[in-house]
């Protein structure tokens, strides 16, 4: 079997595992270790190829020394990392980019050279992963479901890294509901501290029964409603973290200085793209804020206005909003991350005319893709 090229950038996958954010990394190694006793994990795997189903999938900013394997000039690619030793990720791994020349052959060889529906299905799944800007669990589940993939729910849990960072934010968000649901609670903060992890975990336990009663949901509607609620809490938190970074990028884009020879035609295009990009990012920021405001008003109907059916109805029709929020937040996350990676010194961002043209064109394409 021809191996994918060794990737020096992922020599210490243990570090990647400890710092993984679900919006950037899908850690199938960790999921496999935690869920190996779950029947659904085996009956509805993410990848049907065992080797792939013990990989890490990463939304990766393409480095200059990687561009030769790609036919386009994309700034971000979907990277699949195949660990040398799954029990010790510090040993590193080999990787490939979805879309690099010959990547389908690499997938087939990772499966032992097998042909057939399982390999074809995994190739289609990788193509679907490459279509979205983020690997956050809510966008991922909705996108893959609409592409016809049936995958166990354990693959769409919020990571421990994100849970730790979300904890205080979610606790403050649900404080009113805790006061309403646990009327005998003299200290709602102690309830919040215990319930946040339970609420955001993939399992539905008896500790959440008061919430089920408050939401007036049963069976599958309860599972879907709870998933939707987690999703909006997740996106509110994620947007609260992204917003100041976006403000910085919006301020810096007009300040980006072009160095070296300035081709007049390229400069005209750069200035037009620069203005269009700033306006489009502002518009996407407002769209995200508007949808989250719809959630806030629905939640207020439950906690302040005593209208649980209004919030229930909102949750059960929320899947379209997941796609909208996930796609927009994913694009903004990519742009803010890629921008700071390329321009760490916010005081004097500068690049050649060709590089400025490529960066702005890529960002503009990403934002424009949200309208399709």
Are the beta carbons of 139 and 326 closer than 8 angstroms? yes
- Residue 350 bridge partners (DSSP): 257
The domain ranges of the chain are 8-156, 216-369
- Residue 27 bridge partners (DSSP): 56
Please, what is the angle between helix 264-303 and helix 308-316, to 10°? 140
- Report the alpha-carbon distance of residue 215 to residue 225 in Å, rounded: 8
Query: How is residue 370 annotated by DSSP?
Result: T
- Say what the pLDDT of residue 214 is: 81
Distance of CA 168 to the CA centre of its chain: 20
- Say what the pLDDT of residue 186 is: 55
Taking alpha carbons only, the member of 93, 62, 61, 64 closest to residue 80 is 93
Q: Which residues are within 8 A (CB) of 272 and not within 5 positions of it... i.e. 6 or more apart?
A: none
Are the beta carbons of 178 and 185 closer than 8 angstroms? yes
Taking alpha carbons only, the member of 143, 167, 166 closest to residue 155 is 143
Please give the chain's pLDDT, 372 residues, in tens: 444 444 444 445 555 555 445 678 898 988 888 888 889 999 999 999 888 998 989 888 777 777 778 887 676 789 999 886 665 555 667 889 998 999 999 888 876 665 667 889 999 999 999 988 889 888 898 899 989 999 998 898 887 778 888 888 988 888 888 777 665 555 555 666 777 877 887 777 787 887 888 888 888 888 888 888 888 999 999 999 999 999 999 999 999 999 988 889 899 999 999 999 999 999 999 999 999 999 999 999 988 898 888 999 998 888 788 888 988 998 898 899 889 988 998 888 999 998 999 899 889 988 988 876
| Sheet with 25-27, edge to edge strand ranges | 25-27, 56-61, 76-83, 93-97
Please, what is the angle between helix 264-303 and helix 219-252, to 10°? 140
- Report the alpha-carbon distance of residue 300 to residue 134 in Å, rounded: 29
């Amino acid at each position: 079997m021809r191996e994918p090229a060794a990737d020096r950038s992922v020599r210490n996958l243990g570090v990647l595992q400890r710092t993984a954010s679900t919006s950037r990394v899908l850690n199938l190694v960790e999921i496999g270790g935690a869920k190996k006793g779950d029947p659904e994990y085996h009956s509805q795997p993410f990848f049907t190829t065992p080797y792939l189903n013990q990989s890490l999938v990463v939304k990766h900013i393409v480095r200059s020394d990687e561009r030769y394997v790609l036919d386009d000039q994309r700034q971000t690619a979907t990277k699949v990392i195949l660990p040398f030793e799954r029990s010790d990720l510090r040993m590193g791994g080999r990787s490939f980019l979805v879309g690099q020349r010959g990547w389908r052959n690499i997938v087939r060889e990772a499966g032992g050279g097998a042909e057939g529906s399982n390999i074809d299905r995994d190739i289609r799944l990788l193509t679907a992963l490459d279509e979205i800007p983020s690997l956050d669990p809510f966008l991922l589940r909705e996108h893959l479901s609409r592409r016809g993939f049936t995958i166990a729910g354990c693959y769409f849990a919020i990571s421990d890294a994100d849970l730790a960072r979300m904890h205080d934010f979610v606790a403050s968000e649900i404080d009113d509901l805790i006061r309403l649901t646990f009327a005998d609670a003299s200290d709602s903060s102690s309830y919040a501290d215990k319930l946040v992890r339970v609420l955001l975990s993939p399992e539905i336990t008896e500790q959440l029964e008061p919430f089920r009663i408050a939401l007036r949901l049963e069976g599958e509607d309860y599972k879907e409603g709870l998933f939707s609620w987690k999703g909006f809490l997740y996106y509110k938190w994620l947007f609260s973290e992204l917003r100041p970074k976006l403000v910085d990028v919006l301020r810096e884009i007009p300040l980006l200085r072009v160095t070296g020879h300035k081709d007049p035609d390229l400069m005209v295009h750069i200035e037009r793209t620069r203005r269009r990009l700033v306006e489009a990012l502002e518009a996407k920021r407002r769209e995200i804020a508007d949808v989250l405001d719809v959630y806030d008003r629905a939640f207020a109907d439950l906690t302040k206005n005593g209208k649980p059916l209004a919030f229930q109805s909102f949750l059960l029709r929320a899947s379209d909003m997941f796609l909208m929020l996930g796609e927009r937040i994913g694009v903004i996350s990519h742009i803010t991350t890629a921008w700071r990676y390329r321009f760490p010194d916010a005081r004097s961002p500068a690049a050649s005319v060709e590089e400025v043209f490529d960066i702005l064109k890529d960002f503009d394409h990403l934002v424009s893709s949200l309208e399709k």
